[in-house]
Amino acid sequence: MNRLIDSFFEYVKRSDRIFWVLCITTSLFGLAMVYSSATPSEFLTQVLATLLGYVAIIIISVIDYEQILRFLPLIAVFSIFLLILTVFWGVGPEGSQNKAWLPIFNLFTFQPSELMKFTFILTFGYHLSYLIKYKQLNHIVHVLILLIHLGFPIVLIRVCTKDDGSALVFLFIALAMLVVSGLKLRYFAVGGALLVALVPLVWRYVFNDFQKQRFMIIADLEQDPLHMGYHQIQTKISIGSGQLFGKGLFNGPRTAKGIVPEDHNDMIFSVVGEELGFIGCVLVLLLLFFLLFRLIRIAGMSRDNMGSIICFGFFGMIAFQTIENIGMCMGLLPVIGITLPFFSAGGSSTICLYMIVGLIQSVYIHRNEFKLRV
> From residue 7, how far is each of 16, 68, 251 by CA, in Å?
16, 22, 42
Residue 8 domain-assigned (yes or no): no
Mean pLDDT confidence for 283-297:
97
Beta bridge partners of 91: 101
More confidently predicted of 175 and 214: 175
Asked whether residue 221 is domain-assigned, the answer is: yes
- Overall domain count for the chain: 1
For the ranges 3-12, 124-133, 141-150, 295-304, the lowest mean pLDDT is seen at 3-12
> pLDDT above 70 covers what percent of the chain?
97
Position 374 scores a pLDDT of 40
Say if residues 320 and 169 touch (Cβ distance below 8 Å).
yes
The residue among 158 and 307 whose pLDDT is bigger is: 307
CA distance 129 to 332: 36
Distance CA 87, CA 65 (A): 32
Per-residue pLDDT, 227: 85
What is the residue-wise DSSP string for 267-286?
A: THHHHHHHHHHHHHHHHHHH
Q: What is the spatial distance between Cα 369 and Cα 256, in angstroms, rounded to a whole number?
A: 51
φ/ψ (deg, to 5) at 124? -70, -35
Average pLDDT over residues 55-68: 95
Half-sphere exposure of 98 (CA within 13 A, CB side): 19
Query: What are the pLDDT digits (tens) for 205-239?
Result: 888 888 888 888 888 888 887 788 888 999 999 99
Q: Report if residue 202 sits inside a domain.
A: yes
Instruction: Please give the pLDDT value at position 99.
Output: 80
- For residue range 92-126, list pLDDT tens digits in order: 876 666 788 898 877 788 999 999 999 999 999 99
pLDDT grade, residue 147 (50/70/90)?
very high
- Structure confidence at residue 371 (pLDDT): 55
Mean pLDDT along residues 60-70: 94
In a domain? residue 15: no
Q: Give 189's contacts (C-beta < 8 A, 6+ positions apart).
A: none
**In this structure, is residue 71 part of a structural domain?**
yes
- pLDDT at residue number 4: 76
Provide the pLDDT for residue 373.
42
Residue 10 is assigned to a structural domain of this protein: no
pLDDT of res. 96: 66
Q: Is residue 80 part of a domain?
A: yes
| CA dihedral of 23, 28, 30, 31, whole degrees rounded to 10 | 140
Residue of 57, 29, 34, 60 whose CA lies nearest to 288: 29
**Residue 372: is its pLDDT beyond 60?**
no
Does the pLDDT of residue 161 top 90, yes or no?
no
For the chain, give the number of residues.
374
Domain that holds residue 91: 38-365
What is the rounded average pLDDT of the residues 150-165?
89
- Residue 30 lies inside a defined structural domain of this protein: no
| pTM, two decimal places | 0.94
**Confidence check: pLDDT of 38 > 60:** yes
Residue 198 has pLDDT above 70, yes or no: yes
